[in-house]
Structure 1
Amino acid sequence: MKLDKFDIFYIIGLIGTTVFMIWLLLFGTTVLLFSNLIFFWAAKLLSGFGLILTVTTAFLFILDLIADKIGEKEVRIFIIIQIIIPVLLIIFGIYRIISSLTPSGTPDTGFAYIMDLALYIFGIASITLSLYIVPLIKEEFEDAATGGGLFTRIKRGAKNVGRKVKKKYFAFRKQYAKAHIQDQTTLKEILTIWRHKLAVYLLIPIGIGSLLFPPITFISIVFWIKIFITDDDPKVYERIGLLVSMIFMVFIASLSYLLEWEFYTAIAQYTWTIEIFYLIGIIGSTIIFIYQFAQLKGVTLLDVKAKIGEIGAKGEED
């Protein structure tokens, strides 16, 4: 098999970064440990963003179950609750930051410790699995950034048109829950697309956050450049390299927390900064959720201003 210039560059890059990694590990260089913070910032940002998506998915599931049993009034209550929950999650995110500044300490044994450990590992593993490992195996990872091919965009557009038609039909039949399901499905799809896009964009921070393992940094950055700069399709070995890198980082991040390795303990005192990115993820997805929700319901800023003015006028009259 003939190697082209890029193949040679990639091989040299991997060899060079591997040698550098061995040198770092042999000489116990710890200065790069603090770059791990960036890795956890990116992971928490994705986690916070995914929280609103999880809520949207849960509401869609519930709505599917009870669609035939509720009317317009119940659907309105359902919508109000769904809008309130992101606000509560933002408050929860703020609480997480404050509580991480004054940690009470998690016991090293017992149920609380097991739950804390399980949630941490599940969070890291689920993010990596759903946003990196599975899309890479299916060869769909880079499609998140490009929006897919022409056929994918046509298919997505056809689905949106179909949902709009269904929504009008169900509204005409006064099946308000089923009409709202169409909007809910669209919201879920939009948030999923945004989250997958974010996962691709964050390859650079994840790569920088893996500086203690230079080959992973090299693989991540080259993959990102291929997608966004040179607009080339990554080769099979690049996908395999990124796949292996992500699996490796899941194990390292999980075992570091479990066994108290330096990869995590070196940055443990800065966990409050990680929670800030968790909050940013929640706020970002909430903004997208509310904006898209308003778009689907035909609500504009002018409508909101008019409603606020109306409420203010009533208050003055009272």
Structure 2
Amino acid sequence: MNEEFQKEIGIISQVNHKNVVKLLGLCLETKVPLLVYELISNGTLFKHIHDKGSQILASWSNRLRIASEIALALNYLHSLADPPIIHGDVKSVNILLDNKYTAKIADFGASVLISPGQTNILASKIQGTLGYLDPEYLMTGILTVQSDVYSFGVVLLELLTGEKPNSISSSGEKLNIIQHFISALETNNLFKILDFQAADEGEMDEIEVVAELAKACLNRMGVNRPTIKQVSDRLAMLTEHTQKSWTQQNNDETDYLLGETSTSSRKEVDQPILTPSQTVISFQIENYTDSI
């Protein structure tokens, strides 16, 4: 086995998280050694974003849930794995969806282990995928956990806009999707470049929060990006709010259909549901840089 193959086995064999693909075994009976992973039946996130016939991303709630699951997995790799791991090649092709469309991070060929007390790795060669690569890593050759944060920001942008990082315009010119996205966000044109329709004002608020979060992740300076834990916590908060709103809406519809008018039901219906702008935007993403 070559050195890179052994390195990937060493990394993936010690990872255990519901949102990371599981290594089941190793086959040495073939000319080229093979890693055997769990079957992930619904292909890559890239396929579902860019195949306009796919329905799984038709709703904002699914896009938000998948983004939250990816962030959870990265937070596990950065903070909870022992030793911590920098994935090194976060992109939509390396995010798989299982039979329940749960997101799972795959492909640890470019990953590195972080030794105790270590905060960065001076790479012997640049690895990863252009369009997703941290510009700071490209310039310095120094890989950090914040490099994964940048790449995740590109995936968030992809989930929002449906555009590939290296897109070509109809005139054949190469587009800088990141600059286009940030410009749209800063000129209040975000909803003109989305790949889907927001169902209501509550979803619009959530989308704006995630867009600001993506912008923060895409800061060219790693020190000014949020940590993946901050990102994961914000996305989890949004996801929880979305689930509560969906449950409340369904309960209200059920009560209406059944004709229930009990005092307890009326109290539940009358309880105001805080919008994302009240519960989430208040944490002010623009203050990330001050808190890091």
TM score, norm. by length of structure 2: 0.29
Asked which structure has the greater RCO (Cα within 8 Å, sep 6+), the reply is: 1
Structure 1 length as normaliser, TM-score? 0.27
**Higher CA-based Rg:** 1
Name whichever structure is richer in helix by fraction. Answer: 1
